[in-house]
C-alpha cells in the first residue's frame, strides 16, 4: 500500500523550481516505500508524472537527487523552528516550547518524511552523506535549545540544571519518539510524543512548563525565584 501525502499538482509545463520540487516530493514517497537502494529514477519520474529527461536536467545522478531530498528535509525542519528561536519578543519558555512543538508539527513529522529520515540513518553509505550535510543543522538546533535552557536556568533559579545535557536529552528523546511513530503508529500519536517531550521540559523547568502540554497551565515565574538574588 502506498503512503499518501498532500502533493502539488503534477505538470509537465511547470517552472523549473516547481519541477524540481515535484521530483523531490516524488522521491520522498518512493524512498519511504522502497528505501534508498530500492529507489529507481524511473519510479520517481513515474510518481512525479515527468520524463527521465526532466530528472537529468535537474540532477546529474540518483545520488544527487537523494542528497537534494535530504537537504530539502533538513531545510524544511529548520524553517519551522529557527524563526521562533530568533524571536526575542517571546519569553525563553515560549521559545523552547515552540521549538519542541515544531518538532512534531504535521508539516514535518509525517510517516513519509520520518521514513525517509530513518532510511538515511540506516543505510551505511548514505549515513555518511547525512552526517556531512545535516550535522550542522542538528548542532544548530541543539545549541539553540541549550542557549534557551541556560536562560531558563537563570530566570527560574534551576541551580542544578545542565543546559547542554538538557538539549541533548530533548534531541535524543525526539529521535526515539520519531522512530516509535514510524514503527508503532498504532501505539503512539504525534500529540502523545509531544506531551512526552513537554514532560521532559517540565521535569527540568517545573516553574515554566506543565507536563500536560497545556499552554494555559504554564506557571508564571515570580520576580524572585529560589536561588536568584
3-state secondary structure the chain: CCCCCCCCCCCCCCCHHHHHHHHHHHHHHHHHHHCCCCCCHHHHHHHHCCCHHHHHHHCCCHHHHHHHHHHHHHHHHHHHHHHHHHCCCCCHHHHHHHHHHHHCCCCCCCHHHHHHHHHHHHCHHHHHHHHHHHHHHHHHHHHHHHHHHHHHHHHHCCCCCCHHHHHHHHHHHHHHHHHHHHHCCCCCCHHHHHHHHHHHHHHHCCCCCCCCCCHHHCCCCCCCCCCCC
- pLDDT recorded at residue 123: 87
Are residues 134 and 45 part of one domain?
no
**Between 209 and 229, whose confidence is greater?**
209
pLDDT for the residue 60? 86
Categorize the per-residue pLDDT at 145 as very low, low, confident or very high, splitting at 50, 70 and 90. Answer: very high
What CATH number is associated with residue 45?
1.10.10.60
130 or 158, greater pLDDT? 158
226 lies in a domain?
A: no
pLDDT of residue 177: 98
Of the candidate ranges 80-84, 121-125, 170-174, the one whose mean pLDDT is the lowest: 121-125
Regarding whether 181 and 71 lie in a shared domain, the answer is yes
Number of domains in the chain: 2
71 and 28 fall within a common domain: no
Residue 193 has pLDDT above 90, yes or no: yes
Per the prediction, the chain carries an average pLDDT of 86
Amino acid at each position: 500500500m502506498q503512503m499518501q501525502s498532500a502533493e502539488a499538482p503534477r505538470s509537465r509545463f511547470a517552472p523549473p523550481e516547481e519541477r524540481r520540487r515535484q521530483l523531490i516530493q516524488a522521491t520522498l514517497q518512493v524512498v519511504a516505500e522502497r528505501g534508498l537502494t530500492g529507489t529507481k529514477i524511473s519510479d520517481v519520474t513515474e510518481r512525479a508524472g515527468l520524463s527521465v529527461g526532466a530528472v537529468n536536467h535537474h540532477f546529474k545522478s540518483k545520488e544527487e537527487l537523494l542528497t537534494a531530498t535530504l537537504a530539502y528535509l533538513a531545510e524544511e525542519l529548520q524553517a519551522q523552528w529557527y524563526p521562533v528561536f530568533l524571536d526575542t519578543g517571546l519569553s525563553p519558555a515560549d521559545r523552547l516550547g515552540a521549538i519542541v512543538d515544531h518538532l512534531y508539527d504535521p508539516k514535518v513529522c509525517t510517516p513519509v518524511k520520518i521514513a525517509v529520515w530513518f532510511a538515511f540513518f540506516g543505510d551505511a553509505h548514505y549515513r555518511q552523506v547525512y552526517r556531512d550535510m545535516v550535522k550542522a543543522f542538528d548542532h544548530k538546533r541543539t545549541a539553540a535549545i541549550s542557549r534557551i535552557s541556560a536562560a531558563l536556568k537563570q530566570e527560574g533559579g534551576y541551580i542544578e540544571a545542565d543546559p547542554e545535557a538538557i538539549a541533548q536529552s530533548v534531541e535524543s528523546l525526539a529521535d526515539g519518539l520519531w522512530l516509535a511513530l514510524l514503527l508503532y503508529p498504532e501505539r503512539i500519536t504525534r500529540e502523545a510524543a509531544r506531551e512526552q517531550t513537554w514532560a521532559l521540559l517540565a521535569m527540568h523547568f517545573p516553574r515554566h512548563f506543565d507536563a500536560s502540554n497545556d499552554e494555559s497551565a504554564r506557571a508564571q515565574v515570580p520576580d524572585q525565584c529560589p536561588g536568584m538574588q
